[in-house]
Amino acid sequence: MNVIICPGMHEIDLTKSFISGLSDFNSDIFSCLSSVKILIYLGNNLKTLSAFHILNFLFEKIEDMKSPIIFIAFSAGVVGGLQAAYLWQFLGGRVKAFIAIDGWGVPLFGNFPIHTISHDYFTHQSLLRMPGGNNNFYAQPAVEHLEIWRSPQSVRGWWVNPNLTTKSTKIYLTVSEFLHMLLKHYEKISPENQLGKGE
């Protein structure tokens, strides 16, 4: 399984901090997964928004288009990343899921599961996403926009899932824990058991 990370328009140090923050959870969030290849797209300025450049990056890095991909995109990277996901799938590739972190203003629709992570409740509520989408997250207390990318291991909030079997439909955890849960889920499932759109 490939995980492609599409940062926003910000200093590269923030993305390094994001990866480091994920590694602070359970020693290394990615080492808990048996067969994950991490790809970090480091396009700068307008290339962050460019599905064409992200698609070229994927063709350079991935040998087998049928190898499943999960996108993790932040801010402006959600724009280019989501368009690249559509195109990759259109060309025969396999998109297992798309995780949009603070992709406010981007219509989050697709025929693959889309999950959202937001820096506050207002952003979580105002996202343009498919109705009935489950398995999303918002920070509580709210944090600054860049903080959710800088420190996923320390930003805490609510995992929102109406299908939870517990009494509550929300569970309190960190961004790192939420991402770990999603990645483990998608590593385990086969295509026929994949969660439905936006779940």
pLDDT at residue number 128:
74
Where are the domains positioned within the chain? 2-193
Contacts of residue 180, defined as CB under 8 A and 6 or more positions apart, other chains included, come to 22, 25, 26, 29, 32
CA atoms within 13 A on the CB side of 194: 20
pLDDT at residue number 37:
84
Tell me which residue has tokens 């932040």. 74
Q: Are 72 and 99 in contact (CB under 8 A)?
A: yes
Question: pLDDT (tens digit, 0 to 9) for every residue of the chain, 199 residues total?
Answer: 899 999 999 888 999 999 988 876 554 555 555 567 889 998 877 888 999 999 999 999 999 988 999 999 999 999 999 999 999 999 999 999 999 999 888 888 889 999 999 999 999 988 877 665 678 999 999 999 999 999 999 999 999 886 665 666 688 999 999 999 999 889 876 544 444 334 4
Instruction: Write phi, then psi, for 63 (nearest 5 degrees).
Output: -80, -40
The fold of 2-193 is: Rossmann fold (3.40.50)
